[in-house]
Amino acid sequence: MNELQTKIAKIGVVPVIKLNNPTRDAVPLADALCAGGVPVAEVTFRAAGAADAIRLMAQSHPEMLVGAGTVLTTAQVDEAMAAGATFIVTPGLDIEIVKYCQEKGITIFPGCTTPTDYHAAYKLGLEVLKFFPAEQSGGLDKIKAMSAPFPMFKVMPTGGIGLKNLATYAACPVICACGGSYMVTADLIDNGKWDEITELCKKSIEIVKEARK
- Distance of alpha carbon 132 from alpha carbon 139, whole angstroms: 9
Active site residue 196: no
Catalytic-role residue among 18, 42, 135, 154: 42
**Count of residues in the chain:** 213
Q: Residue 7: how many CB atoms within 10 A of its CB? A: 15
| Structural domain count of the chain | 1
pLDDT band per the 50, 70, 90 thresholds, residue 161: very high
**What is the reported pTM?**
0.97
pLDDT digits (tens, 9 = 90+) for 68-107: 999 999 999 999 999 999 999 999 999 999 999 999 999 9
**Which range marks the domain in which residue 72 is found?**
3-211
Ramachandran area for residue 192 (φ above 0: left; ψ -120 to 50: alpha; else beta):
left
Active site residue 42: yes
Please check whether residue 128 is in contact with residue 156, taking contact to mean a CB–CB distance below 8 angstroms: yes
CATH number for the domain spanning 138: value is 3.20.20.70
- Distance of alpha carbon 52 from alpha carbon 39, whole angstroms: 18
- Distance of alpha carbon 179 from alpha carbon 181, whole angstroms: 7
Catalytic-role residue among 18, 130, 135, 154: 130
pLDDT digits (tens, 9 = 90+) for 130-154: 999 999 999 999 999 999 999 999 9
